[in-house]
């Protein structure tokens, strides 16, 4: 069963000639055709292009090339510009947008020889926690098709969980990689802000957005992160620091690793979630890690802070979609104002409009100090508290989400309840920290994730800790019922 193999195993099989990349791509395309209609995880299939690229990968291998991703299939979140392929960002606004260039993440994976199978469904402009705001309809969770897969990278998460591809890309502004990873039993990493280029990634909130990876294990995620990390002159916020070898340190023992257990995360944690976290702590202790309690008193401010900063930035970023420069244009406009109003009114969905209005409000002259400036101060407090915590501990451990996957329709009419899905994830975005979610058990028969947060540029440490945890546990190997066959 090729779809049950890790990226490392697939690369070995390709290297030994046990399968060609073309046949591997055919295998995954057949799975997408059979299984995706019930999931709606993939919204654009690029079968012809994928087979052609796989044939190139096979020729490169035959000519002596190698590489851990050469000939390995993947799915890109539809927020990444893909040259010649529709890039919708889950919105009617960009339903007919064919990108004229590749995002840096896309180009880097292409250069590594990875083969794009298609584009993944997502919440509109990455705003959401359930993948229900997509213009293309909700994604269903492979573990229970009446439940959401999380969001905004819900299509990427569901695709990896259903084994429609060995890995997928995602983006995380407030939790959109970690939360869906947790709800689908996959491993997801959001790197440090600036570690991966944002060039060609459609902007939501530029000071928070970061590209990352969904895979079935930390070891696989390390291989992919290696390919996409690094400085990019096309993104002025990407950081010019050498990229460490993420795979080389996976095996390092955890003896002496200082793990901080965040008091504010433990407060009010639901019993099932708390039990899973306690079990994860026991695994880490058995591996030689030391644990202590850490307090970040301002952390409870992260959700309100985020819901000022993120809408503010989105209201500015999304002003370019006006039916003239970018995006959907209404039919037969009467005049310029009518064109703007109807194009934006028709192109954007309800959640995006809500964010644009909130953002415009908090940035308005009369309210700027009261909301935006105050939020920036809270953001600094949160960042400072994380920095102080990392003087005492090496990583922080906590839950990824408050609950397992919830029913489709349960929260979509109540934005504030929906926003609270991200109470454990948003802090890392506000502080620009790397964070990873890995499967750690079940609540009500549905997968849950634990979250590891590290200091800036400590991706190596997070991947090492998660890999050691995955050597000692089996949660990450479990497939949603019916998807390993």
Q: How far apart are CA 438 and CA 476, in angstroms?
A: 7
The minimum distance between CB 485 and ligand GLN, in angstroms, equals 32
Query: Should residue 310 be labelled a site residue for ligand GLN when binding is judged by CB under 6 A?
Result: yes
Query: Should residue 129 be labelled a site residue for ligand GLN when binding is judged by CB under 6 A?
Result: yes
Interacting residue with ligand GLN among 42, 89, 127, 452 (CB under 6 A): 127
Cβ-proximal residues to 275 (8 Å cutoff; 6+ apart), any chain: none
Please, is 184 exposed, middle or buried when counting C-beta atoms within 10 Å of its C-beta (0-12, 13-18, 19+)?
A: buried
Q: Which alpha helices (DSSP H) does 393-440 contain, by range?
A: 415-419, 426-431
Q: How far apart are CA 249 and CA 225, in angstroms?
A: 14
DSSP 178-232: HHHHHHHT-EEEEPPTTTB--TTBPPSSTTT--EEEEESSHHHHHHHHHHHBS--
Interacting residue with ligand GLN among 176, 192, 437, 470 (CB under 6 A): 176
Interacting residue with ligand GLN among 121, 131, 173, 468 (CB under 6 A): 173
Six-digit token string for 460? 């190596």
- Count residues contacting ligand GLN (CB under 6 A)? 13
Which lies closer to ligand GLN via its Cβ, residue 311 or residue 441? 311
Query: Should residue 90 be labelled a site residue for ligand GLN when binding is judged by CB under 6 A?
Result: no
Which lies closer to ligand GLN via its Cβ, residue 310 or residue 393? 310
Helix (H) or strand (E) holding 423: none
152 cis-preceded (ω within 30 degrees of 0)? yes
Query: Should residue 264 be labelled a site residue for ligand GLN when binding is judged by CB under 6 A?
Result: no
Q: How far apart are CA 278 and CA 364, in angstroms?
A: 46
Interacting residue with ligand GLN among 71, 90, 154, 175 (CB under 6 A): 175
Of the listed 77, 108, 147, 411, which one is catalytic?
Answer: 77
Cβ-proximal residues to 136 (8 Å cutoff; 6+ apart), any chain: 40, 43, 88, 90, 121
The minimum distance between CB 89 and ligand GLN, in angstroms, equals 11
Residues in the chain: 485
The minimum distance between CB 310 and ligand GLN, in angstroms, equals 6
Task: Identify which range of 17-25, 121-129, 251-259, 264-272 contacts ligand GLN by CB under 6 A.
Answer: 121-129
Residues 198, 127, 114, 6: what is their CA dihedral angle, to the nearest 10 degrees? 120
Interacting residue with ligand GLN among 128, 166, 327, 349 (CB under 6 A): 128
Task: Identify which range of 17-25, 166-174, 405-413, 473-481 contacts ligand GLN by CB under 6 A.
Answer: 166-174
Of the listed 21, 152, 197, 298, which one is catalytic?
Answer: 152
**Catalytic annotation present for 152:** yes
DSSP 27-93: HHHHHHHHHHHHH--EEEE-HHHHHHHHHHHHHHHHTT---TTTT-EEEEETTB-BTTBB--TTSGG
Query: Should residue 174 be labelled a site residue for ligand GLN when binding is judged by CB under 6 A?
Result: yes
Query: Should residue 152 be labelled a site residue for ligand GLN when binding is judged by CB under 6 A?
Result: yes
Q: Sketch the per residue contact string, 403 through 432, with ligand GLN: x for CB under 6 A, - otherwise.
A: -------------------x----------
Query: Should residue 172 be labelled a site residue for ligand GLN when binding is judged by CB under 6 A?
Result: yes
**Alpha-carbon torsion 322, 325, 328, 330, what sign?**
positive
Which lies closer to ligand GLN via its Cβ, residue 206 or residue 291? 206
The minimum distance between CB 130 and ligand GLN, in angstroms, equals 8
Six-digit token string for 310? 């993120």
Which lies closer to ligand GLN via its Cβ, residue 58 or residue 235? 235
The minimum distance between CB 100 and ligand GLN, in angstroms, equals 24
Q: How far apart are CA 124 and CA 350, in angstroms?
A: 10
The minimum distance between CB 303 and ligand GLN, in angstroms, equals 10
CA distances from 53 to 309, 365, 458 (A): 40, 52, 34
Return the bridge partners of 211, or none. Answer: 171
**Catalytic annotation present for 176:** yes
Interacting residue with ligand GLN among 126, 254, 308, 466 (CB under 6 A): 126
Which lies closer to ligand GLN via its Cβ, residue 176 or residue 187? 176
Please, is 17 exposed, middle or buried when counting C-beta atoms within 10 Å of its C-beta (0-12, 13-18, 19+)?
A: exposed
**Catalytic annotation present for 153:** no
Of the listed 91, 134, 156, 176, which one is catalytic?
Answer: 176
Interface with ligand GLN in residues 197-216 (CB under 6 A): 204
Which lies closer to ligand GLN via its Cβ, residue 148 or residue 276? 148
Task: Identify which range of 56-64, 80-88, 170-178, 244-252 contacts ligand GLN by CB under 6 A.
Answer: 170-178
Hey, which residues are catalytic here? Answer: 77, 152, 176
- Contacts with ligand GLN by CB under 6 A lie at 126-129, 152, 172-176, 204, 310, 422
């Amino acid at each position: 069963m090729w779809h049950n193999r890790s990226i490392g195993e697939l690369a070995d099989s390709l290297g030994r000639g046990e399968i060609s990349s073309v046949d591997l791509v055919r295998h995954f395309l057949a799975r997408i055709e059979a299984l995706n209609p019930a999931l709606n995880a993939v919204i654009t299939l690029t079968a012809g292009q994928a087979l052609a690229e796989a044939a190139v990968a096979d020729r490169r291998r035959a000519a002596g090339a190698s590489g851990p991703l050469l000939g390995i299939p993947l799915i890109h979140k539809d927020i990444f510009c893909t040259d010649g392929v529709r890039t919708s960002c889950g919105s009617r606004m960009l339903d007919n947008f064919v990108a004229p260039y590749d995002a840096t993440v896309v180009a880097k994976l292409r250069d590594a020889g990875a083969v794009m199978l298609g584009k993944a469904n997502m919440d509109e402009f990455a705003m959401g926690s359930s993948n229900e705001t997509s213009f293309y309809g909700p994604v269903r969770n492979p573990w229970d098709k009446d439940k959401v897969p999380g969001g905004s990278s819900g299509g990427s998460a569901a695709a990896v969980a259903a084994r429609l591809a060995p890995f997928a890309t995602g983006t995380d502004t407030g939790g959109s990689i970690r939360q869906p990873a947790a709800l689908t039993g996959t491993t997801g990493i959001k790197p440090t802000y600036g570690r991966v280029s944002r060039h060609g990634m459609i902007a939501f909130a530029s000071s928070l957005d970061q590209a990352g990876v969904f895979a079935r294990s930390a070891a696989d995620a390390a291989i992919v992160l290696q390919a996409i990390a690094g400085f990019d002159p096309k993104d002025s916020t990407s950081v010019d620091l050498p990229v460490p070898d993420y795979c080389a340190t996976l095996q390092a023992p955890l003896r002496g690793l200082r793990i901080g257990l965040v008091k504010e995360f433990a407060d009010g944690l639901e019993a099932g979630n708390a039990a899973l976290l306690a079990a994860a702590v026991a695994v880490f202790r058995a591996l030689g890690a030391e644990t202590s309690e850490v307090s970040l008193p301002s952390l409870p401010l992260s959700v309100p802070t985020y819901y000022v900063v993120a809408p503010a930035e989105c209201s500015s970023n999304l002003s370019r979609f006006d039916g003239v420069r970018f995006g959907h244009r209404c039919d037969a406009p009467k005049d310029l104002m009518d064109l703007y109003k109807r194009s934006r009114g028709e192109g954007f969905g309800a959640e995006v409009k809500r964010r644009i209005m909130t953002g415009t409000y908090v940035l308005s002259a009369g309210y700027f100090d009261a909301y935006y400036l105050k939020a920036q101060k809270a953001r600094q407090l949160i960042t400072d508290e994380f920095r102080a915590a990392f003087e005492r501990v090496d990583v922080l451990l906590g839950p990824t989400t408050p609950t397992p996957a919830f029913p489709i329709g349960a929260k979509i009419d109540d934005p504030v309840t929906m926003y609270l899905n991200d109470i454990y994830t948003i802090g890392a975005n506000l502080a620009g920290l790397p964070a990873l979610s890995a499967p750690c058990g079940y609540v009500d028969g549905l997968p849950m994730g634990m979250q590891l947060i590290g200091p800036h540029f400590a991706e190596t440490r997070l991947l090492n800790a998660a890999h050691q945890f995955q050597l000692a546990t089996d949660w990450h190997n479990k497939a949603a019922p019916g998807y390993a066959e």
